[in-house]
Amino acid sequence: MPMESSEVKELIKSAIPDAEVTIKDLTGDGNHYSAHVISSAFKNKSRVQQHQLVYSAFNGRMVTPYMHLH
């Protein structure tokens, strides 16, 4: 089910309130985005834990997240 980039941003911010989120629409079909997320919540978290935190914002609405977060 496609999603608006604003909705992607909102979902991430609802899970990570202090997040600075930049969304890039990769294909224009509402299904493939890249998200650049900066947050203090990532401090002392391993890379995979950071990904899981963002992934949890979508609680199951994301089928296969290929996330590329810094």
Partner 1 sequence: MNVQNSINERIQHIVDSNDVVLFMKGIAKIPQCGFSAKVAQILNVIGANYKDINVLEDSDIREGIKTFSNWPTIPQLYVKGEFVGGCDIVREMYEQGELQDLFEQKGLSIKSNKTKI
Contact residues for partner 1, defined by CB under 8 A: 46-48, 51-52, 55, 63-68
- Residue 2, SS3? coil
Return the number of the residue (6 or 27) whose C-beta is nearest partner 1: 27
Output the smallest distance, CB 31 to partner 1, in A: 15
Beta strands in the chain (DSSP E): 20-25, 33-38
Rg (CA), the chain: 11
Output the smallest distance, CB 62 to partner 1, in A: 8
Return the number of the residue (6 or 46) whose C-beta is nearest partner 1: 46
* Residues counted in the chain: 70
